């Protein structure tokens, strides 16, 4: 079996819940970005959860499944999960609650990831006021922006709330490829047998 | 030659009160190290935390190093700056963390500090801003003596890093277990 020409990484997990102070409903749009050397084998890279409701101090539960498989030859460009959380305000308008990003776990096993959320601040007070009035708060034009490094220093954000994600990572053939993610004792790896 | 992947994010910071803060970062590595892919440094957005929560950056880091020798293992140099309403920036803390030397998944914390300055400088900084800054930033992560430096604590920067190593075993490098 010629298995060392690429390695496979399999992610399973869920967008379990969200907690944002003073927020009684929320839904989430997620996307997964990856580098050029990565190829998706299976699973949805975009998705939308239900609108979860709850009390002011409760966690809002999504329990939304994530299942993705990739193959690659290079660990650079590791898949990255980006969430955009929206909710309805008192007037029934769709407003942004926060963005968050995190790389999917590189270490095989089960992980609980807390993704802290932030959202852009309006450039001027007048914009902030009209945004509040019309329910059009500042948003990123590109939903992938929270996962990028370029141009980040130009934005000002406000942060509040967190999304709880549970992820399990399984890797295949990574040792054969010379990689170690820490799950195996390092001394047992001596390249392809 | 062995390769090292550093994949993770600058998650945020705590202990900087409720100021608008951002972080400048870069990798400092010895001459035996070469950055193949990814960014050598960057700057996060300016974040203001809501009441009762911490600052959030969620700034992604994905670096791929080529290692020709173990000396000069990469470090992450961090500088936390605050920005006031007029857009003036002021240093709040310097710090560094070593990139973990074993593969695995890590939640790291870096406590920061900044120079205290003389009485006059402190008074001037209190009055019109402008905390004393370091002239030679290498002192943050370098082996230079710091005996003339008097410092005050800043807050803590939090990082989540995944470390993947390639071919270290092939070169008979023992990294040990990542488990505590």
Tell me whether B40 touches chain A (CB under 8 Å). Answer: no
Which residues lie across from A82 on neighbouring strands? A31, A101
Class of domain A3-189: mainly beta
Domain chopping of chain A, boundaries: 3-189
Tell me whether B25 touches chain A (CB under 8 Å). Answer: no
**What's the pLDDT at B177?**
67
Q: CB distance A106–B163 less than 8 Å?
A: yes
**Average pLDDT score, chain B:** 90
Tell me whether B142 touches chain A (CB under 8 Å). Answer: no
Using a CB-CB cut-off of 8 Å, the residues of chain A touching B9 are 101-103
Region at A21 (left for phi over 0; alpha for psi -120 to 50; beta for the rest): beta
Region at B128 (left for phi over 0; alpha for psi -120 to 50; beta for the rest): alpha
Q: CB distance B103–A157 less than 8 Å?
A: no
> Is the separation of the CB atoms in A80 and A32 below 8 Å?
yes
Tell me whether A190 touches chain B (CB under 8 Å). Answer: yes
Residues of chain A whose pLDDT is less than 50? 1-2, 185-193
Check pLDDT > 70 for residue B12. Answer: yes
Using a CB-CB cut-off of 8 Å, the residues of chain B touching A35 are 62
Which whole number is the average pLDDT over B130-143?
87
**What's the pLDDT at A179?**
86
pLDDT in tens, B142-179: 888 888 888 999 999 999 999 999 988 888 888 876 55
pLDDT in tens, A29-80: 999 999 999 999 999 999 999 999 987 778 899 999 999 999 999 999 999 9
Please report which residue ranges of chain B form alpha helices under DSSP H. 119-128
Using a CB-CB cut-off of 8 Å, the residues of chain B touching A7 are none
Rg of the Cα atoms in chain A? 19
CA pair distance B52, B49, nearest whole angstrom: 8
Alpha carbon A97 to chain centroid, angstroms? 15
Task: Select from B45, B104, B167 the Cβ nearest to the Cβ of A107.
Answer: B104
Which whole number is the average pLDDT over B15-20?
88
Q: Nearest C-alpha of chain A: how many angstroms from B94?
A: 18
For A33, which residue in chain B has the nearest alpha carbon? B60
For A115, which residue in chain B has the nearest alpha carbon? B58
**What's the pLDDT at B37?**
92
Using a CB-CB cut-off of 8 Å, the residues of chain A touching B60 are 80, 101, 103, 147-149
Say if residue A140 is exposed, middle or buried (CB neighbours under 10 Å; 0-12, 13-18, 19+).
middle
Query: Which site among B169, B175, B176 would you substitute to test the A interface, given the most A Cβ atoms closer than 10 Å to its Cβ?
Result: B169
Looking from the CA of B75 toward its CB, the CA atoms found within 13 Å total 18
Element of type H or E holding B160 = strand B151-166
**What's the pLDDT at B143?**
84
pLDDT in tens, B103-127: 988 999 999 999 988 888 888 888 8
CA pair distance B109, B74, nearest whole angstrom: 16
């Amino acid at each position: 079996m010629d298995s060392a020409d690429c390695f496979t990484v399999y992610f399973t997990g869920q967008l379990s819940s969200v907690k944002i102070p003073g927020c009684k409903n929320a839904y989430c749009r997620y996307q997964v970005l990856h580098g050029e050397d990565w190829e998706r084998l299976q699973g949805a890279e975009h998705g939308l959860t239900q609108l979860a409701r709850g009390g002011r101090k409760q966690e809002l539960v999504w329990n939304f499944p994530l299942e993705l498989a990739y193959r690659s030859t290079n660990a650079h460009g590791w898949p990255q999960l980006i969430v955009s959380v929206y909710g309805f305000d008192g007037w029934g308008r769709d407003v942004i609650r926060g963005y968050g990003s995190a790389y999917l776990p590189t270490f095989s096993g089960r992980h609980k990831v807390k993704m802290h959320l932030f959202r852009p601040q309006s450039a001027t007070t007048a914009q902030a006021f009209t945004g509040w009035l019309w329910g059009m708060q500042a948003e990123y034009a590109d939903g992938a922006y929270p996962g990028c490094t370029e141009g980040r220093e130009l934005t000002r954000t406000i942060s509040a709330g967190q999304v709880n994600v549970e992820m399990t990572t399984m890797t295949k053939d990574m040792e054969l490829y010379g990689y170690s993610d820490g799950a195996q004792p390092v001394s047992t790896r001596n390249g392809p047998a | 030659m062995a390769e090292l992947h550093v994949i993770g994010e600058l998650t945020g910071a705590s202990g900087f009160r409720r100021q608008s803060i951002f972080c400048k970062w870069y990798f400092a590595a010895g001459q035996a190290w070469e950055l193949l892919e990814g960014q050598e440094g960057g700057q996060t957005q300016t974040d203001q935390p809501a009441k009762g929560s911490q600052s959030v950056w969620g700034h992604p880091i994905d670096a791929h190093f080529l290692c020709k020798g173990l000396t000069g293992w990469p470090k992450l140099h961090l500088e936390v700056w605050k920005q006031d309403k007029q857009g003036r920036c002021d240093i709040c803390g310097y710090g560094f963390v070593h990139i973990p030397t074993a593969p695995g998944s890590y939640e790291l914390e870096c406590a920061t500090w900044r120079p205290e300055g003389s009485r006059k400088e402190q008074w001037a900084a209190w009055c019109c801003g402008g905390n004393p800054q370091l002239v030679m930033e290498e002192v943050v992560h370098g082996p230079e003596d710091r005996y003339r430096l008097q410092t005050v604590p800043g807050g803590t920067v939090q990082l989540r890093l995944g470390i993947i190593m390639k071919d270290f075993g092939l070169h008979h490098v023992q990294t040990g277990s990542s488990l505590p």
